[in-house]
Structure 1
């Protein structure tokens, strides 16, 4: 693939960790403005070089970084503007609710769980006592920009109880241009290796891609806090369909127009081996009412055309593996298939990734990955080498080198034959100096002709004001 070089043009700096970068046109306005949502709960609006606060919900957000040494994956994680936002002022938020901190679903540090293939107990854990053994509660809400310019909450669509602090999704709310529905991407609930196998369980809301028909009014202003679809009141069930399962953690879904249909792109953050990007055009979502009916009737609904990314049996193109380190020589590290039976069961049902890229890669023109943080199609012609391609970001180069840390920008192309594709690193000439530069988010404008990159100087959300948002330019 051809080498591409770009510049990074700073738009705004010294902000908190930018989790979502989107553009829209405000009611009565004529220009598209960039909106930046930060993990701590601010939403900024930028137009004509002026930055102003659109909404500040910091008091509504859980206190971040306290229980985990400053690192956190909770907070304000999703922002989406209704396709008719210019006319109706509706927008949607996903965040972790203040005052809902629990003790977690398993004892120990949040990522300490590892399955032991020799111990069946570790392979068949169940999440019990959910009403007291959980980490926090997430909410998905509908808001309206009132005629006086003040945003106001209208209703709560979902309350989700989450087992651990990590894997809640990020850039988790996007509207489908095909169906007009709000697409919610939830991670598997966290820890590591999906201890309760929530992502493959059809009844669990964790580890899924869910569509909400926001045009349907359920007349339920305060829905119950749930973890499973069958715990939802029927009017809410009737607004939901499930597009996919087998998700580990996910930096949103994006849509690329291809003739008269859309290619969907989904990144699945990996465990120990690979990061993966999946693409699909055709899919058959399953109504939640049918899933629940299947449980009641003890029958499995038809899953033909239903998307399965394969986790936890598969990590991208590979069976999920535990790495046993060889301290004398790391080239002799042993990889053991963690969930052999599940890898077999899901081997045929799962979707093959468009690309998988590796946490360790000996090739000189590639890089060692840490975590996928954004996937966006680029349809502009300012950077002609990238036109029609899929650009993605990784948090940080995983190289055995000294700091400072650098994130990675790369791209791949669609393959119509559905085979695994290669990717190429995009070179940037930006000088970050001695500062770390974690690439934490990737965004685009409405017609996907501009790309925006969110960078942070620390891995810790509790280290404030270290964020910069750039436009990626030729």
Structure 2
């Protein structure tokens, strides 16, 4: 892969952690403007170089960075305002969509202690999430809002209320519109805790660990949907609005669509466990209506899954069977890697989608890097950085180097091969001097025609460390 060098041009700084970066054209306007959603619940837009508030729902967001049992450690959190999508006709109808973790919904969590599967102890391999009404961490909501003619946003309706077992793996940049179907796409992680203890991602009834299309044109006339975890708990009118594109998701930073001639390549990333971060691509797929999934479950048979996408988790982490890792003897620098879920790896071995590329948490190759967690995947169609035209760009939150602070995130790219085989990737070098400040790469965004790229950087991993965010444009 050809080496690429880019410049990071700061657009705005000293903001809270930026989770979503998107552009749209406001009603009555003609210029595309950059919108920035922060994890704590603010949405800003850039107007002639000035940052303006579009919406502030901080009081409606769960208290982030708290250290209750099973929640987070010292200010690290994966809840908050996680998704923002503008309707394709936003300029005319003012509709937009939010996904966030709701204030006042803190629960004790689904498990009382840290989970790690033990291949020698079957009890750890098939846990059940019981007493869900009381043993959960928080509630996420997906809402439809409208920008009224007076310029004030107002909530119109709630589309989904989801009970989540743990604080993490809720997805990020989790709402996007499909240019193919015109539907709202919700990408949701497996629920968290690591290793998907309840195997939610492969269970057809679990909403967790899926890529879901929502038909927002259909009105369910249900003002406040019930809080659920499974598709069969949803009222039939809501089931009717949903189709499932994919399962086997661990945690996911959104979905990106790239138009090539008259079809779209879809790119999705799966955040890894201990070994690898993975990017998948697919063109053809056949989503399954949720009503069909529910009917098949009632009859205790498998729905027709031809053309249904399976990313392979929890049996597979990218191109590898999911492993548990532990150190060898005291005087050895090696690790022992044991397949965590051998039977599941076998069951999903041929059903799963093969990755486009993977990068690893440890990589001895001089031109590569050790990754930590994938935070953004975006197709790029611009001509200003010719080497990147037609590629897919991705970000990792932090290089996993042993050199210590200050931390640096990493940008890289790959592209689809015409023979469909696994491809290599290349690091994108940047010129920006962050000085002694840490720089976690937390989000990646693009404009409407994918000719510009935006990078969100934060100075800390703690949401309780405020106003340490900068948004850059990636330029030649």
2:115 aligned with 1:104: no
Determine which of 333, 339, 347 is the counterpart of 2:341. Answer: 339
**1:33 alignment partner in structure 2:** 33
Residue 426 of structure 1 and its aligned partner are, at CA, apart by 0.4
1:219 match: secondary structure: coil
* Deviation string, structure 1 residues 229-278 (Cα, Å, up to 9, x no partner): 00000000000000000000000000000110000000000000000000
Distance 1:329 1:419, change over 3 A: farther
Match of 2:216 in 1: 214
C-alpha displacement of 1:329? 5.5
Pairs aligned (count): 471
- Counterparts in 2 of 1:253 and 1:329: CA distance versus 1, 3 Å: farther
> In structure 1, how many angstroms separate the alpha carbons of the residues matched to 2:465 and 2:353?
38
Alignment correspondent of 1:399:
401
1:374 Cα deviation after fit: 0.2
Q: Deviations over 1:65-118 (max 9, x none)?
A: 01221010000000000000011000000000000000000003xxx2100001
In the other structure, the counterpart of 1:86 is 91
What is residue 378 of structure 1 aligned with on the other side? 380
CA distance in structure 2 between the aligned counterparts of 1:323 and 1:10, rounded to whole angstroms: 40
Q: Could you tell me how far 1:295 is from its partner in structure 2?
A: 1.0
The structural deviation recorded for 1:199 is: 0.2
The Cα offsets for residues 327-352 of structure 1, whole Å up to 9 and x where unpaired, read as 54565211100000000000010000
Tell me the residue number matched to 2:160: 158
CA distances 1:401-457 after superposition (whole Å, capped 9, x unpaired): 121000000000111222110000000010000000000000000000000000000
The separation in 2 between residues aligned to 1:457 and 1:393, in whole angstroms, is 16
Question: Could you tell me how far apart the structure 2 residues matched to 1:165 and 1:52 are?
Answer: 30
Q: Distance in 1 between matches of 2:329 and 2:361?
A: 18
Task: Tell me, yes or no, if structure 1 residue 61 matches structure 2 residue 66.
Answer: no
Q: 1:322 aligns with which of 311, 321, 324?
A: 324
Q: 1:392 to 1:329 in 2, by over 3 A?
A: farther
Counterpart of 2:460? 458
Per the normalisation by structure 1, the TM-score is: 0.99
What secondary structure, in the 3-state scheme, does the structure 1 residue paired with 2:201 have? coil
Aligned residue for 2:27, secondary structure, equals: coil
Whole-angstrom distance in 2 between the partners of 1:471 and 1:331? 41
2:152 aligned with 1:147: no
Q: Distance in 2 between matches of 1:126 and 1:466?
A: 40
Question: Which runs of structure 1 show a deviation greater than 2 angstroms over 4 or more consecutive aligned residues?
Answer: 326-332
Native 8 Å contact 1:32 1:47 kept in 2: no
Deviates further, 269-278 or 323-332: 323-332
Match of 2:281 in 1: 279
Q: 1:184 is matched with which residue: 178, 183, 186?
A: 186
- Tell me if 1:136 matches 2:141: no
Q: Deviations over 1:96-141 (max 9, x none)?
A: 0000000000003xxx210000100000100000000000000000
SS of the residue 1:230 aligns to = helix
SS in structure 2 opposite 1:166?
coil
Aligned counterparts of 1:65 and 1:414: Cα–Cα separation in 2: 38
Between the aligned partners of 1:217 and 1:136, the Cα distance in structure 2 is 26
Q: Structure 1 regions of 5+ residues with no counterpart? A: none
Contact persistence 1:104–1:133 (CA under 8 A):
yes
Give the secondary-structure state (helix, strand or coil) at the position aligned to 1:199. Answer: helix
* Pairing 1:388-467 to 2, within 5 Å after superposition: 388-467=390-469
